[in-house]
Amino acid sequence: MSTAATTMERAAPPESGPRALIYRLRHGDEVAHIVTLIFAATILLVTSMMVYELWVQSALTRTKFGWEFFWTRTWDPVFENFGAAPFIYGTLVTSVLSLMIAVPLGLAAAIFLAELAPRKISDTLAFLIDLLAAVPSVIYGLLGIFVVIPLMRTTIGPALKATLGFLPIFKGPNYGVGFLTASIVLAIMIVPYIISVSREVLLTVPRDQREAALGLGATRWESTWKVVVPWARPGVMGSVFLALARALGETMAVTMVIGNTPQIATSLFSSGYTIAAAIANEFAEATGPMHQSALMELGLVLFLITFILNGLARLLIIATERGGGRPS
């Protein structure tokens, strides 16, 4: 059957009834529609089931603590007094800080690989970067314990204290574990995502765009920074949000280097805790129903944070696109 015939038949398909269904089934459209719809619906189903399950399982603490759960600073499994504030704080601080380290690094590397490096080198490096993205997080955690922690204690920490020690975020004792160490390890983990996706996006920018900019007398750098990067901005943003999602949910590597102390501290040298780490650490041995419920509610809070941050991300994309470089 030729394409032309299909198009012609589609012009007058049976309106309704079983014949219509058979017609559409036979022509593949409806099958593809149903199959893809089922797969898409599965994602929605899994997500809503997760939220539902977390909501139901956390009933005990939700009714006992109410909204106070969000700003209570105590986490006491023995006396069953639970609050999520230190975990929310730790999750946000490490994720944001790791993005602040990883985004400039990743974007610069992606620009180099896409725009400046010879194609062969770029492809080889991109392959290696994809490999990095597949390294299990426990390996990054070990890297943190054996490399980053000693480095933090002996070199990075003292250097920061000597130069920026007057800032409250660099005060207090430095044991090598804490917010800053966790953020550095997280940054190392998420940089490959940013580089890999951003590079692909930058490579898809049409050649005309570059040539037009160069033709107007722009330098190589001006063409890259003022034309190519703005064009690729939505995609680059996408890579950043993928990285953020990974940073928010990362468990193993963070728990190995953050010190696991549920506290809110200004100093980045201080030890902290994240939501994902707390759940992973305590769930297996959580014996009381109250403790289990509190951990479930932490999961719900993490879901909420991810949801809000993703929403903000969408808004950011919309806002920047309005003034953006891509013709619409």
Of the residues 255, 267, 274, 293, which one makes contact with other proteins according to CB under 8 A: 255
Q: Is 129 exposed, middle or buried (0-12, 13-18, 19+ CB in 10 A)?
A: buried
Using an 8 Å Cβ cutoff, are 103 and 152 in contact?
no
Of the residues 75, 87, 140, 179, which one makes contact with other proteins according to CB under 8 A: 75
Q: Is 233 exposed, middle or buried (0-12, 13-18, 19+ CB in 10 A)?
A: middle
Tell me whether residue 101 or residue 280 sits nearer to other proteins (CB atom).
280
Candidates 100-108, 212-220, 242-250, 271-279; binding stretch for other proteins (CB under 8 A): 271-279
- Nearest distance from C-beta of residue 243 to other proteins, angstroms: 24
Q: With binding defined as CB under 8 A, does residue 281 bind other proteins?
A: yes
Of the residues 61, 94, 260, 267, which one makes contact with other proteins according to CB under 8 A: 260
Using an 8 Å Cβ cutoff, are 237 and 316 in contact?
yes
Please choose, from the candidates 217, 215, 194, the residue with its C-alpha nearest in 3D space to the C-alpha of residue 114: 194
- Please state the length of the chain: 328
- Going 304 to 309 to 310 to 312, the CA torsion angle's sign is positive
Please choose, from the candidates 213, 211, 205, the residue with its C-alpha nearest in 3D space to the C-alpha of residue 111: 205
Q: Which residues ranging from 116 to 155 are in contact with other proteins (CB under 8 A)?
A: 145, 149-150, 153
SS3 of residue 204 by DSSP: coil
Tell me whether residue 106 or residue 272 sits nearer to other proteins (CB atom).
272
Q: Which residues 6+ apart lie within 8 Å of 234 measured at CB? A: 317, 321, 324, 326
Using an 8 Å Cβ cutoff, are 227 and 213 in contact?
yes
- Nearest distance from C-beta of residue 281 to other proteins, angstroms: 4
Q: How far is residue 99's CA from residue 16's CA, in Å, rounded to a whole number?
A: 54
- Nearest distance from C-beta of residue 84 to other proteins, angstroms: 14
Tell me whether residue 132 or residue 280 sits nearer to other proteins (CB atom).
280
Q: Tokens 């928010």 map to which residue?
A: 248
Q: With binding defined as CB under 8 A, does residue 264 bind other proteins?
A: no
- Nearest distance from C-beta of residue 149 to other proteins, angstroms: 6
Q: With binding defined as CB under 8 A, does residue 53 bind other proteins?
A: no
Q: With binding defined as CB under 8 A, does residue 16 bind other proteins?
A: no
Please choose, from the candidates 200, 196, 193, the residue with its C-alpha nearest in 3D space to the C-alpha of residue 242: 193
Using an 8 Å Cβ cutoff, are 246 and 190 in contact?
yes
Candidates 32-40, 102-110, 213-221, 252-260; binding stretch for other proteins (CB under 8 A): 252-260
- Nearest distance from C-beta of residue 102 to other proteins, angstroms: 24
Q: With binding defined as CB under 8 A, does residue 280 bind other proteins?
A: yes
Q: With binding defined as CB under 8 A, does residue 187 bind other proteins?
A: no
Of the residues 287, 322, 323, 327, which one makes contact with other proteins according to CB under 8 A: 287
Q: How far is residue 246's CA from residue 196's CA, in Å, rounded to a whole number?
A: 14
Q: Which tokens in the block code for residue 132?
A: 């990095």
Q: Residue count at the site for other proteins (CB under 8 A)?
A: 34
Q: Which residues ranging from 159 to 178 are in contact with other proteins (CB under 8 A)?
A: 173, 175-177
Which residues lie near other proteins (CB under 8 A)? Answer: 74-79, 145, 149-150, 153, 173, 175-177, 255-256, 259-262, 271, 273, 277, 280-288, 291-292
